[in-house]
Amino acid sequence: MKARPANPKGYWNPVTETMPRPQLRELQWRKLQVALGHARAGSQFWGGRIPEGIASLDDYLARMPMLTREEITAAEQEAPPYGSLPSCDPRLAIRHHQTSGTSGQPPVRTFDTARDWAWAADMWCTGLYGMGIRDTDRAAVAFGYGLFIGFWGLHYALEKIGATTIATGSFDSEGRVRLILEQGTTVVACTPTYAMRLALTAKQMGVDLARESQVRIVVCSGEPRPEATKRAIAESFGAFVGDTAGMTEAATIFMFECTDEPGGCHIIETDYLEEVIDPDTMRPAEYGQPGVRVMTSLGREGIQMFRYWTNDLVIRRPAADCTCGRSWDWYEGGIRGRHDDMRKIRGVFFMPVMVEDVVRNFPDVDEFQTTLRTIEELDTLVVQIEPRPGLADAERAGLAERVKGEIKRQLSLTPIVEVAATGSLPRFEMKAKRFKDERGLAVKP
């Protein structure tokens, strides 16, 4: 690993990041009161939804109804683009963002006021500073700069910290590798998938990023990142790999990985009230038990979110289980997947990210795709792997057998593993789409 800053444990806001938890809860309650009052007065949607007389955090959690994505899009469709949701005049907006809508659902559209955007950048500052980024860094942001909110807030946060910020939206992968070397880049920000692609491109160019570049921090966001993927990125860049996650509905990030690397990401609890709900019982999950994130944002004034069912699967851990000194709880393994991605295959629970956690342990696999198919009336997991160039036919076949055996050992599922031709599987810059569910379609073995 390359050298880190002299004070990698620094806090962007020492007071709030180390605040005793009783005081933190008081701060959350004060912010929630303000947010509820603002929403009730300014939003047609929330004005008819927020219960009267909420007297405490516990009262809020007991009485405030949960919000679903379908309710958000329905409210927006009443009078596009924002419908009845806004809590202030959309003419105050300085930013507009929206989700891709690639899931087949209408996109979620949001706007941010100047105050919102300053807050959103500050949330990113909290995370980036906690990863060790300082004003001496030179950061390359590998992002397309489109309508998706993605790394927009990160860009402004880097500037706020004082780091030299390089937007690489117009670059291809080879151009980005050359820029990393020529500019002495010390920070790279991208999705985990694209970090792997950059590493592969560099290797094909004859460049050893771990040895030849000055990159010491890779900031990953945009999709679940299992530990095997983190290790592969860290080895390729010779750098600390920090995870973080945000969402369009929140305007910014809600968690980040500190340099003590507890095995997960701290929740920015001063600005988010986060619950973990058991999706079967709909009751709060205990520490260490999996559940779905339910998010309340305490910092946004334009489009507000109260008890939003995110579909993100998480496991919450107490702050004391990390040695960094923050009083904020954290999510073990970050976002572990999506509740709506969970499948049951022959009695075994499965999520696509589980395959990635296995496959990334095989350095001879450049890319992969996972498909669920019905074969001879049985649900079957089919994994296509694309071996690195140069492997002989016997080595490619042996690799497929080893991947199959490891998936069976770790997931208790016996997959069909197919070897794809070099360069045949799709590559991704933003959110990767490596999973398809084709069950119900008749497929011959």
Written as tens digits, the pLDDT of the chain (445 aa) is 666 554 557 899 999 999 999 999 999 999 999 999 999 999 999 999 999 999 999 999 999 999 999 999 999 999 999 999 999 999 999 999 998 755 567 889 999 999 999 999 999 999 999 999 999 999 999 998 999 898 999 999 999 999 999 999 999 999 999 999 999 999 999 999 899 989 999 999 999 999 999 999 999 998 888 888 999 999 999 999 999 999 999 999 999 999 999 999 999 999 999 999 999 899 999 999 999 999 999 999 999 999 999 999 999 999 999 999 999 999 999 998 888 777 777 777 787 888 888 898 999 998 999 998 888 777 889 999 999 888 888 888 899 999 999 988 888 888 999 999 888 888 876 677 888 888 765 444 4
CA 169 to chain centroid: 20
Cβ(338)–Cβ(309) below 8 Å? no
Distance between CA atoms of 139 and 150, rounded to whole angstroms?
16
User: CA-CA distances (angstroms) from residue 128 to 103, 156, 256, 428?
Assistant: 30, 11, 8, 24
Distance between CA atoms of 407 and 418, rounded to whole angstroms?
13
DSSP 140: E
In 3-state terms the chain splits into helix, strand, coil percentages (rounded to 5) of 35, 25, 40
Distance between CA atoms of 385 and 45, rounded to whole angstroms?
47
Structure tokens at 165: 């910020």
The values of phi and psi at residue 39, to 5°, are: -65, -40
pTM: 0.84
Helix (H) or strand (E) holding 63: helix 57-63
Distance between CA atoms of 238 and 240, rounded to whole angstroms?
7
Q: Is omega for the bond preceding 81 within 30 degrees of 0, making it cis?
A: yes
SS3 category, 401: helix
SS3 category, 327: coil
Helix (H) or strand (E) holding 34: helix 21-42
Distance between CA atoms of 45 and 62, rounded to whole angstroms?
20
Q: Which of 45, 49, 111, 37 is nearest to 84 (CA)?
A: 45
Helix (H) or strand (E) holding 182: helix 173-182
Helix (H) or strand (E) holding 138: strand 138-141
